[in-house]
Chain A
Amino acid sequence: MSRKQQVPRPGPALGTDDTGCPILHVDMDAFYASVELRERPELRGVPVIIGDPGARGVVLSATYEARRFGVHSAMPMTRARRLCPRAVVIPPSRHKYAEVSRGVMEIFRSITPDVEPIASDEAFLDVGGARKRLGRPAVIAAAIRERVVREHGITCSVGVAGSKFVAKLASQHCKPDGLLVVPAGEVVDFLHPLPVAALWGVGERTERSLVRLGIKTVGDLAHTPVDALRRELGQAAGTHLAELAWGRDPRPVRADVPDKSIGAEETFATDVGDPVEIRRELLRLSERVAARLREGGHVGRTVSVKLRRADFSTITRSRTLREPTDVARDLYTVACELYTASGLGRTPLRLVGVRVENLRSAAETPRQLGLDEREKGWREAERAMDRAARRFGRDVVLPASLVRPPFDEIDL
């Protein structure tokens, strides 16, 4: 849905020779929107946007009908509505998406253990080892697409290639509801007509730098001397892009790459300067982050807060704890200390965020017990909240200060 995905379809129809193409990139089509449409079939064919309908809301997902009007994710809701006034806006129900995401990932893992999820709705698979059992990569890709539709009622697109980055480009090209194999011998033909923005690592700034050098397509990039790229973009980025331009991407699919961090943030409907309200929001975000840590079976040691002033200037402060935690109360305590120490005590803030980094598996992380810990402490109370949430839905049990109409936040 970003710029990179609005790439024209490639000219020549690519073959189905999947020799040397063990890498699959599977990407759900308009994930949140598709999940919602399962329950609202009457909205099929209508522009639908998922996101908080409020003034400060942001587009999280949009159907292809809405995208035709220029709506894309991360766009402010006000702008999206101007572009497409007749779009139906649905507030997000994250637990539903998480459930579908888990189910889809399970399908992938039933095919190969080499699954590298990169978002809730996309993953890389290395099916090189499943060939004898399940057949050629293109066959497996088709089977996955069929199972996702049959079991979850949503469509996905699959790119099949010899490397992760080409597989990802391939899936973007065949979206929605498509399958594209880029044979090993045709990688260069496939890549070179593409605009440079299609490459991983080319953001708007890099794109501007490249266009200034007269480099518009990947082919232009491939035929630019590496030294010139390094001069313009820096040693590492220049080398990397030159490699990508020839389709060289040696990164393997890494199963269970642990989440590097888990965070949540909130953009206020109007800027908030009251420290009491900021702390309450930090508590709410801490609860959310901790619940997600526990859900993923993680504990983390580094807590950071993000504070954005009205003028968008942003500061981030972090602290590493002695012991890793998945307890909201711990996150909240540190978040408040970091907020207090930030010197932004009375400054109106547009956005606050809480994030935990340095994640490890909770099951495998030993925990030093403390003398002052009660047998049943916050950790146990919060686990009980998790169980209640699983049975009765999210937010049925909350800290008293949070019992009120909730905001919406953007998950990162």
Chain B
Amino acid sequence: MMFRIERDVLAEAVAWTARSLPARPSVPVLAGMRLEVTEGGQLKLSGFDYEVSAEVTLEPQSGEAGVVLVSGRLLAEITRALPAQPVDFVVDGAKAVVTCGSARFTLLTMPVEDYPSLPAMPPAAGRVGSDVFASAVGQVAVAAGKDDTLPMLTGVRVEIEGDTVTLAATDRYRLAVRELKWQPGQPDFSAIAMIPGRTLADAAKALGSTGAEVEIALSSAGGTGEGMIGFSSAGRRSTTRLLDPEFPKYRSLLPTEFSARADLSTGAFVEAVKRVALVAERNTPVRLAFRGGEVVLEAGTGDEAQAVEVLPVDFDGDDINIAFNHQFLLEGLGAIDSDVARLQMTTSTKPAILTGGKPVDDGGTPDYRYLIMPIRLSS
């Protein structure tokens, strides 16, 4: 087995594949990256940790069929450091030799026959632009829980109904929901899946950089390949095992009526929250007091350092005092993707909704809604 390929192409593909390799492999072969030159002369790189699989297909300049397993981390570090010249990869008995310019590495190979075969892709379900998909996933995954003792809350829920995909995630304290359009293979396609948030965000980000369309592979309820979702784009494909689809009934949690609406410049709001939050410890609130045309932001208490800042606001409704975890507020403001942030509130203990200011004005429901639960200041 041997191949020759440009260093940049190889390095990027190896780095992408290595992302799916387990940090602490349960069996040693899982630390390996599988490299195969097919009879057709294609080079396939793959990695697998039973939860996530990744495979990329490349066209090498030349090749000789064969398959080998080498340490994925080491190969990623080596290819990243190679000079910008063609790379020759040659298997010689139990060793693999990587040559590039004046550099030469000899790697031990691992027993490829012990390597598990990658799961088959579920049937293709439809397509979506990779950049749209990546940004939508990014907007939602921010609200997914990080606490692995509550697996139900670490996932992103994907609901597909015809040409509409709804992504949702919550960690009990906020809830992010994004709707987007896609092109389903069947116009009446319908499916529900829970995908580990971190994995989905990684996969979407990696695919988003290709700029091409992403094909989503997911069986509809009861179909084959259940328990798995696949993404493929520009020669890259990945699969992820799904979580238990249990998820809070979130639609009823999203309020639709409010007693106050505040529109602020997103950039100025973010800067002000960041500044006053300098005196707020982790999990302590930033307090917002909306009064007519201005909002007073405050953090800290009498026993500690305090900060206060006033911002102009386009405000409609009853005056309100409300407090939020500053991290939650900043993450929501970072996700709305709009110059104007719209915060809609009811009372100081009821959920508030953050959206981009513009889309609401045409009357429809905004594509993206970020619900945030307030902090009650005292009992």
Of all chain B residues, which has the CB nearest A361?
Answer: B378
A363 touches B379 (CB 8 A): yes
B283 touches A368 (CB 8 A): yes
Is A343 engaged at the interface, CB distance under 8 Å to the other chain?
no
Give the contacting residue for A362; candidates B285, B371, B379; CB below 8 A.
Answer: B379
B376 touches A372 (CB 8 A): no
- 6 tightest Cβ-Cβ pairs between the two chains A and B: A369-B373, A370-B172, A366-B375, A367-B376, A363-B378, A368-B375
In the complex, chain A residues whose CB is within 8 Å of the CB of B283 = 322-323, 368
Of all chain A residues, which has the CB nearest B172?
Answer: A370
B377 touches A366 (CB 8 A): yes
Of all chain B residues, which has the CB nearest A364?
Answer: B378
B248 touches A371 (CB 8 A): yes
A362 to B376, CA, bound (A): 11
A323 to B170, CA, bound (A): 17
Give the contacting residue for A369; candidates B147, B170, B301, B374; CB below 8 A.
Answer: B374
Selected A-B contacts with CB under 8 Å, 11 pairs: A322-B147, A322-B283, A362-B379, A364-B378, A366-B284, A366-B323, A370-B172, A370-B373, A371-B172, A371-B175, A371-B371
A371 touches B351 (CB 8 A): yes
Is B349 engaged at the interface, CB distance under 8 Å to the other chain?
yes
Is B27 engaged at the interface, CB distance under 8 Å to the other chain?
no
- Given contacts A362-B379, A369-B376, A371-B172, 8 further A-B pairs with CB under 8 A are A366-B375, A366-B378, A368-B325, A369-B373, A369-B375, A371-B170, A371-B173, A371-B248
A42 to B176, CA, bound (A): 70
A31 to B379, CA, bound (A): 33
Of all chain A residues, which has the CB nearest B174?
Answer: A371
Of all chain A residues, which has the CB nearest B173?
Answer: A368
A371 touches B253 (CB 8 A): yes
The CB with the most chain B CB atoms within 10 A, among A323, A362, A367, A370, is that of A367
CB interface residues, B 283-327, toward A, < 8 Å: 283-285, 301, 323, 325
A363 to B283, CA, bound (A): 16
For the complex formed, measure the closest distance between the CB of B143 and the CB atoms of chain A, giving whole angstroms.
10
In the complex, chain A residues whose CB is within 8 Å of the CB of B170 = 371
CB interface residues, A 184-207, toward B, < 8 Å: none
In the complex, chain B residues whose CB is within 8 Å of the CB of A362 = 378-379
A366 touches B248 (CB 8 A): no
Mark contacts of A362-397 with chain B using CB atoms, 8 A cut-off: 1 yes-contact digit, 0 otherwise. 111111111110000000000000000000000000
The CB with the most chain A CB atoms within 10 A, among B174, B175, B377, is that of B377
Give the interface residue-count category, chain B: 20 to 34
Mark contacts of B359-379 with chain A using CB atoms, 8 A cut-off: 1 yes-contact digit, 0 otherwise. 000000000000101111111
Give the contacting residue for A366; candidates B173, B174, B285, B351; CB below 8 A.
Answer: B285
B373 touches A371 (CB 8 A): yes
For the complex formed, measure the closest distance between the CB of B255 and the CB atoms of chain A, giving whole angstroms.
11
A367 to B373, CA, bound (A): 10
Of all chain B residues, which has the CB nearest A324?
Answer: B283
A299 to B373, CA, bound (A): 20
For the complex formed, measure the closest distance between the CB of A83 and the CB atoms of chain B, giving whole angstroms.
48
In the complex, chain B residues whose CB is within 8 Å of the CB of A322 = 147, 283
A371 to B174, CA, bound (A): 7
Of all chain A residues, which has the CB nearest B324?
Answer: A368
A368 to B172, CA, bound (A): 10
A200 to B297, CA, bound (A): 49
B interface vs A, CB < 8 Å?
147, 170, 172-175, 248, 253, 283-285, 301, 323, 325, 349, 351, 371, 373-379
A372 to B147, CA, bound (A): 17
In the complex, chain A residues whose CB is within 8 Å of the CB of B253 = 371
In the complex, chain A residues whose CB is within 8 Å of the CB of B248 = 371-372
A277 to B123, CA, bound (A): 51
CB interface residues, A 328-378, toward B, < 8 Å: 362-372
A362 to B379, CA, bound (A): 7
Known: A364-B301, A366-B285, A366-B323. A372 touches B378 (CB 8 A): no
Mark contacts of A395-408 with chain B using CB atoms, 8 A cut-off: 1 yes-contact digit, 0 otherwise. 00000000000000
B375 touches A367 (CB 8 A): yes
For the complex formed, measure the closest distance between the CB of A372 and the CB atoms of chain B, giving whole angstroms.
6
Mark contacts of A297-330 with chain B using CB atoms, 8 A cut-off: 1 yes-contact digit, 0 otherwise. 0000000000000000000000000110000000
Mark contacts of A80-114 with chain B using CB atoms, 8 A cut-off: 1 yes-contact digit, 0 otherwise. 00000000000000000000000000000000000
A368 to B173, CA, bound (A): 7
Of all chain B residues, which has the CB nearest A299?
Answer: B379
For the complex formed, measure the closest distance between the CB of A241 and the CB atoms of chain B, giving whole angstroms.
35
A347 to B284, CA, bound (A): 42
In the complex, chain B residues whose CB is within 8 Å of the CB of A372 = 172, 248
Of all chain A residues, which has the CB nearest B302?
Answer: A364
For the complex formed, measure the closest distance between the CB of B338 and the CB atoms of chain A, giving whole angstroms.
24
Of all chain A residues, which has the CB nearest B348?
Answer: A369
Of all chain A residues, which has the CB nearest B379?
Answer: A362
For the complex formed, measure the closest distance between the CB of A298 and the CB atoms of chain B, giving whole angstroms.
11
A387 to B174, CA, bound (A): 33
A370 to B147, CA, bound (A): 15
Of all chain A residues, which has the CB nearest B371?
Answer: A371
B175 touches A366 (CB 8 A): no
Of all chain A residues, which has the CB nearest B253?
Answer: A371
A370 to B349, CA, bound (A): 10
In the complex, chain B residues whose CB is within 8 Å of the CB of A370 = 172-173, 373
A372 to B351, CA, bound (A): 11
A378 to B267, CA, bound (A): 40
For the complex formed, measure the closest distance between the CB of B183 and the CB atoms of chain A, giving whole angstroms.
33
The CB with the most chain A CB atoms within 10 A, among B172, B174, B376, is that of B172
A371 to B379, CA, bound (A): 17
Of all chain A residues, which has the CB nearest B349?
Answer: A369
A291 to B127, CA, bound (A): 56
Of all chain A residues, which has the CB nearest B248?
Answer: A372
A367 to B284, CA, bound (A): 9
In the complex, chain B residues whose CB is within 8 Å of the CB of A364 = 301, 378
Mark contacts of A108-130 with chain B using CB atoms, 8 A cut-off: 1 yes-contact digit, 0 otherwise. 00000000000000000000000
For the complex formed, measure the closest distance between the CB of A370 and the CB atoms of chain B, giving whole angstroms.
5
For the complex formed, measure the closest distance between the CB of A10 and the CB atoms of chain B, giving whole angstroms.
44
A364 to B377, CA, bound (A): 7
For the complex formed, measure the closest distance between the CB of A166 and the CB atoms of chain B, giving whole angstroms.
32
In the complex, chain A residues whose CB is within 8 Å of the CB of B147 = 322
Of all chain A residues, which has the CB nearest B378?
Answer: A363
In the complex, chain A residues whose CB is within 8 Å of the CB of B323 = 366
For the complex formed, measure the closest distance between the CB of A341 and the CB atoms of chain B, giving whole angstroms.
11
In the complex, chain B residues whose CB is within 8 Å of the CB of A363 = 378-379
